[in-house]
Structure 1
């Protein structure tokens, strides 16, 4: 009986996976009134692919992203940011004289790309009502701006510093704003926003990096008040409204192996993209993992259950680390047949399930992630629509970075291939 059962199990999983190793053991009284055989299926067949979500909600992000760089896979990655402001006060002395206006952009210490080269930002005035077209702002949200630019500012970036970027704006723009405040034409937030929707900062086409800036940035008006002995220098700050300040981020996708991606409901198999699947935060590009043959476990003779299940995959580390950082963990979601996110992947205590680095070798030239997915598999097997469920692997900081990752697929070389390991217990034959 035992030999026939083991042969059946071996045949079933040979049909659905190229199993490198099947291990068997007995754990005796761990199960009541039965000897239990534990079988490890070292490679259960998976299918990996790359897809692009239609949009990402960026409302609520604590930072904004501005810049562009040329990526060897994703093409030209570009991010521009919309800012809305309100003055901290609405009174300026009638005798005061305007001096200048500047945008003070505070670094947020995140960057991607080559920051050794100077960067150039173009600043324009937003002309469309800067409110969400829907309930949220998305990475695809777009608003009209004036045809001319207020300033083109070139600077040497220092993203890791506690410094800020000081951008002098068009003198006339600042002078008109100053005069409206001084003459009491604008005396409250509603009147201000009726006239000034905000500013948009875009990168020049020559950019080589994307930089992050804090929403604690602000506009500053410089002016002087006449005093008896000498003029006194004064400032008036216009603080950023965080709820109406966001970034629009996109990837050009003009290069192999990803010259384009279809609509969200479709994905591109890793077999068509060099046995790699791709992830990029900020642009909606993610890796989909399907596990198509779980039902085959039901064909194993005897009563059994999954004791443990792990998804394991390797990171391609051949790219420049400035555009392919190594992160300690990656996020997972559950998606349906339309590739819509329906839930986080969690454990039995409802804790988030994260793919963590399990193995590093050779100065990080080989990096393997491992993530427990037993609860996902159990829920998938028990849910009425579970057959339609797949996993989606995404980057951390998915709405506030452009971090990118390349994962080896199921058809990669044996030592790098993506796989699911199942530990299966048979305890009643």
Structure 2
């Protein structure tokens, strides 16, 4: 605890007025007793903070608007693999009886998301689902499984350009294309149910030996579709036409999900087999971990926050900022840091109960500060006054905790390693401005 700073009433009001409303806006009432008292502002940075790593049993991935396909090897998180499964349905079941089949392709539109090395080549293997892509309950999870044929119906080796290019075009096996064409043309398939029974959907799988990037593609029906081309001989010319078979987003059940997995992660992550049991950073080399898609999160607790009541006088928190330091050399241009981290309240079983927001509905976020990047002074600053004030005034003695995760953690694979509370130079730290007044 640092030395108290004695200030005048005027200076205190100036400090309050300069506080960022978005980071903290306490309902502080300075009454007559306050006005007639001696004011102290105390800067505190020695409160105990407990950090740990947890892993959720599973994450829902069927509500995403992003297809994820790719594979890479991470020094901490092991072999990260993403694959996607979805139904596809024609937008028409009619083909001219005089038409002849030409070709069929799958089109995938980038959605600008990627993670890891886009310099390396990726593979996409398209395989036919052998069971209905329909969940047993209401949703699919990152751990869900659907059976599929091992033989490719299409394959592409490509150099990802998610921020420059527009759409991938992948040739589909003509045997399949001709079969679909014939069934539509001869009216063997005339509606949605018949098509689903015949063609259950596809999965997009990365190459077995891929070590590049996870790439995001849009799930919009105009961005993910097979296009079946055919020709019709007219009197004096040949007209070309097509039928689109887009990803199905209009059913009464979810028929899409991303499967996300890791293998051969570090020894600490391999210990995370029970969601209810976190791994203290004191037992993992003063490190904790975050990984989207897999459901690895860092949790933070303030077990001694109510020791502030030991300070003589009546006080309130004027401001609070949690400083979070990524482990040096755990990130680079490929394994990049997100610009923000979201904050979620969790219960005693490490279930997320709510996302923390400010009074205007905006998300409470830790913001990455790169001002002194050349001096390895990169950290997240989390304005946290309101939450800490609530902890301080809570009527329960339960040690409440929150989890740090990137935005869209159910549809990405961003990862991070952060320091715990025992590193001298880079430990996680809560900086408090605590105002105390003593009545005469």
Aligned to 2:262: 251
Aligned to 2:113: 110
Name the SS of the counterpart of 1:398 in structure 2.
coil
After TM superposition, give the deviation of residue 397 of structure 1 in Å. 2.5
Q: Tell me if 1:405 matches 2:416.
A: yes
What do residues 344-364 of structure 1 show as CA deviations (whole Å, max 9, x unaligned)?
Answer: 223355532111134521437
Is contact 1:315–1:366 with CA below 8 Å preserved after alignment?
Answer: no
After TM superposition, give the deviation of residue 233 of structure 1 in Å. 2.3
Q: Map 1:341-352 to 2 at 5 A.
A: 341-352=352-363
Q: Map 1:83-98 to 2 at 5 A.
A: 83-98=86-101
Aligned to 2:228: 221
What do residues 171-206 of structure 1 show as CA deviations (whole Å, max 9, x unaligned)?
Answer: 222222111111112222222223222100111121
After TM superposition, give the deviation of residue 127 of structure 1 in Å. 2.1
What do residues 338-395 of structure 1 show as CA deviations (whole Å, max 9, x unaligned)?
Answer: 1111112233555321111345214373212211222222333444556242011111
Aligned to 1:307: 318
Name the SS of the counterpart of 1:43 in structure 2.
coil
> 2:178, 2:44 → 1: CA distance?
72
TM-score (norm 1): 0.89
- In structure 2, do the counterparts of structure 1 residues 85 and 22 end up closer, same or farther at CA, with 3 Å as the change threshold? farther
Match of 1:335 among 346, 349, 370: 346
What do residues 383-418 of structure 1 show as CA deviations (whole Å, max 9, x unaligned)?
Answer: 45562420111112212221111212111133x111
> 1:261, 1:363 → 2: CA distance?
35
Structure 1: gaps spanning 5 or more residues: 1-18
Q: Map 1:159-170 to 2 at 5 A.
A: 159-170=162-173
Is contact 1:28–1:34 with CA below 8 Å preserved after alignment?
Answer: no
Q: Tell me if 1:211 matches 2:239.
A: no
Name the SS of the counterpart of 2:182 in structure 1.
helix
> 2:292, 2:132 → 1: CA distance?
28
After TM superposition, give the deviation of residue 260 of structure 1 in Å. 4.0
Is contact 1:380–1:386 with CA below 8 Å preserved after alignment?
Answer: no
Deviates more, 1:153-162 or 1:76-85: 153-162
> 1:232, 1:42 → 2: CA distance?
75
Name the SS of the counterpart of 1:250 in structure 2.
strand
Is contact 2:331–2:416 with CA below 8 Å preserved after alignment?
Answer: no
- In structure 2, do the counterparts of structure 1 residues 253 and 34 end up closer, same or farther at CA, with 3 Å as the change threshold? farther
TM-score (norm 2): 0.87
Aligned to 1:387: 398
Match of 1:425 among 405, 410, 435: 435
What do residues 23-78 of structure 1 show as CA deviations (whole Å, max 9, x unaligned)?
Answer: 43234375333222121112211011111112222233221110100001000000
- In structure 2, do the counterparts of structure 1 residues 368 and 157 end up closer, same or farther at CA, with 3 Å as the change threshold? closer
Is contact 2:8–2:39 with CA below 8 Å preserved after alignment?
Answer: yes
- In structure 2, do the counterparts of structure 1 residues 227 and 263 end up closer, same or farther at CA, with 3 Å as the change threshold? same
Structure 2: gaps spanning 5 or more residues: 14-33
Residues matched between the structures, number? 409
Q: Tell me if 1:368 matches 2:379.
A: yes
Name the SS of the counterpart of 1:363 in structure 2.
helix
Aligned to 2:240: 233
Q: Tell me if 1:138 matches 2:141.
A: yes
Is contact 2:330–2:417 with CA below 8 Å preserved after alignment?
Answer: no
Q: Tell me if 1:396 matches 2:407.
A: yes
Deviates more, 1:84-93 or 1:136-145: 136-145
Aligned to 2:201: 198
